[in-house]
Amino acid sequence: MAAVASARWLGVRSGLCLPLTGRRVGPCGRTPRSRFYSGSAAHPEVEGANVTGIEEVVIPKKKTWDKVAILQALASTVHRDSTAAPYVFQDDPYLIPTSSVESHSFLLAKKSGENAAKFIINSYPKYFQKDIAEPHIPCLMPEYFEPQIEDVSEAALQERIKLRKVKASVDMFDQLLQAGTTVSLETTNSLLDLLCYYGNQEPSANYNFQQREQSEELEEATEADNEKSKTKAGHHLGVTWRTKNNAERIFALMPEKNAHSYCTMIRGMVKHQAPTQALNLYTVLLNNRLRADVYTFNSLIEATALVVNEKFEEKWNNILDLLKQMVTQNVKPNLQTFNTILKCLRRFYAFGKLPALQTLREMKAIGIESPSKGSSLIIYDIMNEVMGKRFSPRDPDDDMFFQSAMRVCSSLRDLELAYQVHGLLNTGDNWKLIGSDHRRNFYYSKFFNLLCFMEQIDVTLKWYKDLIPSVFFPHSQTMIDLLQALDVANRLDMVPQIWKDSKEYGHTFRNELKEEILMLMARDQHPPELQVAFADCAADIKSTYESQDARQTAPEWPASSLNYVAVLFLRAGRTQEAWKMLGLFRKHNKIPRAELLNEFLDSAKASSSPAQAIELVKLASAFSLPVCEGLTRRVMAEFTLTQEQREALGELTALTSDSSSDSDSDSDSDISEGK
């Protein structure tokens, strides 16, 4: 019995699926001692036991949790606070930006501080040996860049290659050859990898940053300027391929070469602008009956498109030949292969449209998802394919998808499509693919501008409160688009608040924005309460033209702004400030509009002030305005004047008529001379 019991216990301990019965198992309702028993053993105590109530308990496999799993779970419960500053600026309240310029400046300052801290840690590693982070954070610990092996050996060469010491690695390789030491093929290939990646040049401390900035600039450049900019950037960084360099010399000295050796050289030549040499070396690889890998074929496709003095059709045929050779060599293309083809077809202009569609069909046929980049012609199909999916970066240009997609939505004026793109951005961790700060600002600017043009004003204002400034800082054009949306929806009561926000975001001295605000407020008559608010806003804008910084001169008054401010003061009953604005017309030599002068005359009539009316006529006469005669007639008819005032008006009328006749005679003489 003991042996049977032991066997049953072992059966229970070893099985993954354990049958489970109910507590009541017989007609007598007896409860067994244990609920667990072997699935292969029968129950001996009770006859006619009810076996229909058996359940199975599945013991799950042990799962190893990540060390930051709890932090990730907590982070998933926290959402963005639309009333707070962007998270990247919350370390120091003093450095919370209020404009896009400050945002860019503070990000650069923060990056500069990180680089300075990294430089100190790497320069004095002995002072930073204590690792207090759990789990370990590699970027907080010093990196050792100095070689520790001093003797001449292959191990010393491998160490220098690992530390990315280009010159030291080449020197050690030459010393090994001079000493008669044979360097293994694997180590020599590693040295070729280092030389070809950095173009036989010592990598600088900020090499990765320069490469990232260069790629962004090249992507934003036009196709016509792409090659010129790329060559210029390559010369600036010193990474163009030079003939008879160390890589070619070491490659020639190798007693034996495998496919890795040739592939490394080919990829290095293409990377550093030597496409013709890369294609020639590929021919040598084929003659030696070797096969290239998929990454080398990707580089060869790029090299084919870079070859000059060939027509688009010839280049496309050469690309097709490379694809056929991939089939012959049993090399399966990857996503980067098709992305490279599509990039090359972009340079073919109209010729590349049909091959691009064929490429996309081929991708779908072999089960490769479309790249997260597309044009306006296929954006709808792309969104139908990717909606609701979660992505991780698989291509160097994946962070350009949302920027490009929102630009297409803006050009198509398709708000529904923009909502789909934004929904995809907020799915899972797709927001990580939005790219750098510049690309994020571009994306949200396009999205919000489209909302201003196409969405209802209440929804637009909700997005305005949600996105600004917690996600991005608007440019002045974004604020102008919002003002135009308010104008269309007849919500001009929001204009003073938009001006306050514009000042907070650093647009105080944007003349286009100020003129747009003043024009909207002064265009029509409004209720008295709103006119008072508009006048206060106009006075605030007026102060921006009068104030000046120690390093700057006061901005010049535009004639339109002078007219708008004066009208707003008049309509709000601030007549003294309005009449002072007339002096600014003379001071800045700006001509007032006839409508403004008529409103001033109405104000003088309401206050029964003939002196102000005569001053108004004098101003019109000084500028020789055609409206002067009409103003004079109105003053004579609508005001009670003294004899002196009538004589003064008569003199002004005579002067105006004389000046107008002189100008007419001058114009007639010019016409006769022209004949």
* Longest Cα–Cα distance in the chain: 140
The Cα–Cα gap between 659 and 645 comes to: 21
Q: Of the candidates 352, 360, 290, which has an alpha carbon nearest to the alpha carbon of residue 325?
A: 290
pLDDT digits (tens, 9 = 90+) for 6-61: 444 444 444 444 444 444 444 444 444 444 434 444 444 545 555 566 788 888 88
H-helix or E-strand containing 56?
A: strand 55-58
The secondary structure of residue 58, as a DSSP letter, is E
> What is the average pLDDT score of the chain?
80
Handedness of CA 445, 450, 453, 455 (dihedral sign): negative
- Dump pLDDT digits (tens) for 483-536: 999 999 999 999 999 999 999 888 988 899 999 999 999 999 999 999 999 999
Over 9-42, what HEC string results? HHHHHHCCEEEECCCCCCCCCCCCCCCECCCCCC
Q: Which two tokens stand for residue 468?
A: 């600004």
% of residues, the chain, pLDDT over 70: 81
The predicted pLDDT at position 642 comes to: 78
Helix 154-162 to helix 166-178 angle (10° resolution) is 170
Q: What is the mean pLDDT of residues 246-264?
A: 93
Q: What is the pLDDT of residue 589?
A: 87
Q: What is the mean pLDDT of residues 105-118?
A: 88
If 0-12 CB within 10 Å is exposed, 13-18 middle and 19+ buried, where does residue 100 land? Answer: buried
Which among 190, 238, 197, 230 has a CA at the least distance from the CA of 214? 230
Per-residue confidence band for 224, with pLDDT thresholds at 50, 70 and 90: very low
Residue of higher predicted confidence among 86 and 222: 86
In the prediction, which pLDDT does 311 show? 83
Question: CB–CB of 56/90 below 8 Å?
Answer: no
- In terms of Cβ atoms closer than 10 Å to its own Cβ (0-12, 13-18, 19+), residue 413 is exposed
Average pLDDT over residues 341-359: 81
What is the residue whose two structure tokens read 């394919």?
385
Confidence of residue 451 (pLDDT cuts 50, 70, 90): very high
| Residue carrying structure tokens 């080449």 | 170
% the chain with pLDDT above 90: 33
How sure is the predictor about 226, in pLDDT bands with cuts at 50, 70 and 90? very low
Question: In terms of pLDDT, which residue wins out, 662 or 109?
Answer: 109
Cα distance between residue 284 and residue 276, in whole Å: 13
Q: E strands of 98-147, at which residues?
A: none
Question: Taking a C-beta distance cutoff of 8 angstroms, is the pair 518, 565 a contact?
Answer: yes
Outline where 288-378 has alpha helix (H): 294-306, 312-328, 335-346, 353-365
- pLDDT score of 216 more than 70: no
The pLDDT value given to residue 674: 46
Average pLDDT rounded to a whole number, residues 599-625: 83
Cβ atoms 537, 499 nearer than 8 A: yes
Separation of alpha carbons 240 and 262, rounded Å: 19
* Residue that wins the pLDDT comparison between 430 and 234: 430
Distance CA 448, CA 468 (A): 10
Which of 536, 542, 481, 546 has its CA nearest to residue 513? 481
